[in-house]
Chains A and B, each alone.
Chain A
Amino acid sequence: MMDQVVQAIALFASVGVLIALIIGSVWGTIAGALPGIGTVAALIVALPFTFGMSTEASIALFLGIYVTSVYGGSISAILINTPGTPQSAATVLDGYPMARAGKADLAIGWATFSSLVGGVFSLVVLIVAAPLLARVSVAFGPAAIFAIIVFALTCIAWVSAGSTIKGLLAGVIGLWLTTIGTDDLTGYTRFDFGQPALMGGLSLIPVLIGIFALAEVFHRAGHYFAAKPPDVSNVGFRMPALGEITLRIPQFFRASVIGTFIGILPGTGATAATFVSYSDLRRTSPRRENFGKGEPDGLVASETANNAVTGGALIPTLALGIPGDGGTVVLLGVLTIQGLTPGFDLAQNNPHILTGAFLLILIANFIMFGLGALGSRIFAKILAMPEPILMAFIMLFSFVGAFVVRGNPIDVIICAAAGVVGVILRFAKYPVAPIVIGMALGTTFEGKLRQGMISAQGDFVEFISDPIALVVLGLTVAFIAAPIIGSRKSGKRNG
């Protein structure tokens, strides 16, 4: 282990990597603070720049954005009663009342410190769990990987905004999209509709960019009503008193655990974690009667949990190559572009990269704290930036990002088309995250399914008789059945 740490430090200790980490952290905080941008768009805007950077600097840039963008949402949540990211939606409940009472600086202090605690806690879990899970995954045969992907897609669909059926449909559409182009096993072309440009299939990144970034731009256009910039003149940072912090150690711990373990489940994400944590602490805190009136426990609940998700969500992403949300899909894409395969390969062949990533996340959390402490006034002023200009830059970077992946102009068209499809699906209340996650997992899913079926001579029962696969599929069924049985029982009790 010490060897890996030394190797990681040797690889990542450079001015370029540190600058990339700082730039990523600053941009992530800004993007998080600006309503309508969010983690995925922030990562997408940075994507084109990674093509000119080293592997280590790219990883640093992306991890900086990923860790800090979740925190950035708290700044606008506290100052202007509008969460910068969905992950900070619960922060408005106590952050804004605190700001209205003239304690905006203290609210930002609580949010910043809570984010640091959550981020570091989940990092510790990530350091222990990810390499372990990656080593265990070598025992996973095709059936087990197939079952894990079924479980992941089911989770994602189950917790997506909108109906579960629509979430499952979106996931299946994502899986189907990976069948366009040349079949890896036989070399035959599928669903190219006579278009040579489609023989190479659809690249994930342009679709991801279109469906998240451009669709969000279109959605904002439909809901934008030009207004005066918010007044954010009275902003600062005040660290909470040590006594107040130690009083809330149980709340920090609860929120950290909730955030980390919700983050591990694919598809759940920081938004779910922040509300689950807020509900839990509102029920259990000794100061529960003050929730909603500017109680620091409310900020501890939401900001600790949402940052704890960052480490938790990276466990399946780095250990198994299974992303849980749009942000981890982009991270996965960046690692793949850099020639790294998350999963057992990464842990076995590049353990120093994994260790380096852990160190970068640790440093990013502290940079985030420093930015909050020293830069909150500047970030507050950024909230006054005209939204049309911001959205226009997102359009530019979306097209650049879509093009530079393969250097193929068709990807610019695909990106625009994905944006149109994404906004239509959004208005029709279809979740779009399952589409890109289905795309990210589709090739592996089909590959393992067909590989296993060939070995089993077409006998699906024999294919699925792998013990790990049976356990995971059983968990999937239980995951679906439990809430259905639960609601039927409560219906009978009430009826």
Chain B
Amino acid sequence: MTRILDISVSGVLLVAGIALFAMTFGDAFDVPTFGGDVGPAFAPRIFLAIWIVLSGVTLIHAIRSAAPEESEVKLTQMITLVVIVCATGFAITKIGFVFATVPGFAAFCWTFQYRKPIPLLVLSVLAPLAIWALFTFGFELLLPRSPWFHQI
């Protein structure tokens, strides 16, 4: 799996580098410069040219390398957790910090094999609320709020 991932990532980086490099020749970058021809495209083109060369080299190296030894990975658990964290992050921007993280915290811990329902339920409610209260009333820094209530 690691070898396939290595090849895939190197390939994606190569394609991304080429696409971004091509963008620097578009209209958005065709602007007057101050002399020395160092307009907005100057540095990005240098970075992206190096990017393309290096990702080409890593792709060739990845294709030619033997598959390395792999450690055991709980892929399902990890992917599920990634989905939960991303969903929680997205939900924070839509329904506020508290309402997103209460179920997010619980789902996270349950997926991460913490299977004590009562302590989990208590922590899932208290932890986000405590953090919200600390920042809202302690530091007077508002965290993302829900569309239904003024402060929470």
A458 to B38, Cβ gap below 8 A? yes
Q: Within A408-437, which residues are at the interface with B (CB < 8 Å)? A: 409-410, 412-413, 415-417, 419-420, 423-425, 427-430
Residues of chain A contacted by B113 (CB below 8 angstroms): 224, 226, 388
Cβ distance A43 to chain B, nearest Cβ, rounded Å: 18
Q: Within B93-149, which residues are at the interface with A (CB < 8 Å)? A: 93, 97, 101, 104-105, 108-109, 111-114, 123, 127-128, 131, 135, 138-144
B81 to A221, Cβ gap below 8 A? yes
Mask of B34-77 contacts with A, CB within 8 angstroms, 1/0? 11111110111001101100110110010000000001111101
Between A and B, how many residue pairs show CB distances below 8 Å? 199
B90 to A454, Cβ gap below 8 A? no
Partner of A409, one of B31, B50, B144: B144
Residues of chain A contacted by B25 (CB below 8 angstroms): none
User: Which residue in chain B gives the minimum CB-CB distance to A456?
Assistant: B36
Partner of A399, one of B35, B73, B88, B114: B88
A214 to B85, Cβ gap below 8 A? yes
Residues of chain A contacted by B55 (CB below 8 angstroms): 169
B28 to A175, Cβ gap below 8 A? no
Interface size bracket, B side: 35 or more
Residues of chain B contacted by A425 (CB below 8 angstroms): 9
Q: Chain A interface secondary structure, helix, strand, loop or mixed?
A: helix
Q: A52-B140, A458-B38 are in contact. Are A399 and B112 (CB under 8 A)?
A: no
A169 to B58, Cβ gap below 8 A? yes
Cβ distance B130 to chain A, nearest Cβ, rounded Å: 10
Q: Chain B interface secondary structure, helix, strand, loop or mixed?
A: helix
| Distance, CA A258 to CA B44, complexed state (A) | 38
A51 to B139, Cβ gap below 8 A? yes
Is A479 interfacial (CB 8 A cutoff)? Answer: no
The count of chain A contact residues (Cβ–Cβ below 8 Å) is: 72
Cβ distance A428 to chain B, nearest Cβ, rounded Å: 4
A415 to B48, Cβ gap below 8 A? no
| Distance, CA A417 to CA B85, complexed state (A) | 10
A222 to B77, Cβ gap below 8 A? yes
Q: Which residues of B contact A (CB under 8 A)?
A: 2, 5-6, 8-10, 13, 20, 23, 28-29, 31, 33-40, 42-44, 47-48, 50-51, 54-55, 57-58, 61, 71-75, 77-78, 81-82, 85-86, 88-90, 92-93, 97, 101, 104-105, 108-109, 111-114, 123, 127-128, 131, 135, 138-144
13 A–B pairs (Cβ distance < 8 Å), ordered by A: A51-B139, A52-B138, A190-B29, A191-B20, A191-B23, A223-B73, A224-B113, A392-B109, A392-B112, A396-B128, A404-B141, A453-B42, A454-B34
